[in-house]
Amino acid sequence: MPTVTTPDGAEIFYKDWGEGRPVVLAHGWPLHSDSWQVQQLFLAANGFRAIAHDRRGHGRSTQTWHGNDMDTYADDLAHLLDALDLRDVVLVGFSTGGGEVVRYLGRHGTDRVRGLVLVSAVPPFMLRTDDNPGGVPIEVFDEIRRGSLADRSQTYRDLADGPFFGGNRPGQEPSQGIRDAFWLQGLQSGHRNALECIAAFSATDFRPDLDAISAAGVATLVIHGDDDQVVPIDVGGRASAERIAGAALTVYPGAPHGITDTHARRLSTDLLSFCLEVPS
């Protein structure tokens, strides 16, 4: 099982498929790299080296007691890129993974990266505060925390059956397989890790990271569904696209949060088109 070892001893699992220019895919909460398997296979079959890792505390990576925060996630990603000596990378982040890749760029710079894609991503800043009045109230995240502590398995079932894939909307019928995969992947994360990750994705302010990306001129594509009930498009995609100079915004009409599954084919095609366009 391929892993890299971080300076604090955490083993970070990764899958490395195909040959060509590298595309690195960062997953959402509480999932792991298998959530990217459709897009990873498609990109690898079309001339790219597609790499997806399990964030610490998730999937097959070490369930550390410490380091369940965005700075450490970004440092782990930096360690992976350095260990594999990846260059001219296109970074792709879904949901929490969008925060991870953005914090990586803000913290470690753009030397290894040529392109960025944010998919249903949590930046610029999810939490409602005085200087972010359009954000999501903290009570929403507190309820997820309470549910996780009371019955984590059922909480993941409820998320998968409801807002994550839009199954609570008329006309949306995510398959049982998609919902089961969410539940299974979620339970493979560490309880503490997944619980603390809620604060990492909801209360981390990525606005300075986006400003740094904007100043560096990184080619950026933002993809977001306009019926995302987890990261509302005005909080996530539209706000990020407005903050990064030159960023392109692609809106999936009526799409929920989990478009890696519900819109897998279209997302794969859009990622491939962007990767082919980004200069090395």
Total Cβ atoms within 10 A of residue 111: 9
How is residue 128 annotated by DSSP?
-
Residue 128: is it exposed, middle or buried by C-beta count within 10 angstroms (0-12/13-18/19+)?
A: middle
Point out the catalytic residue in the list 61, 95, 148, 268: 95
Point out the catalytic residue in the list 75, 228, 261, 270: 228
- Find, among 269, 242, 266, 268, the residue nearest to 254 by Cα: 266
DSSP-based three-state secondary structure for 265 = helix
For the question of residue 257 being annotated catalytic, the response is yes
Q: Compute φ and ψ for 46, nearest 5 degrees.
A: -120, 35
Distance CA 3, CA 109 (A): 23
Q: Report the catalytic residues.
A: 95, 228, 257
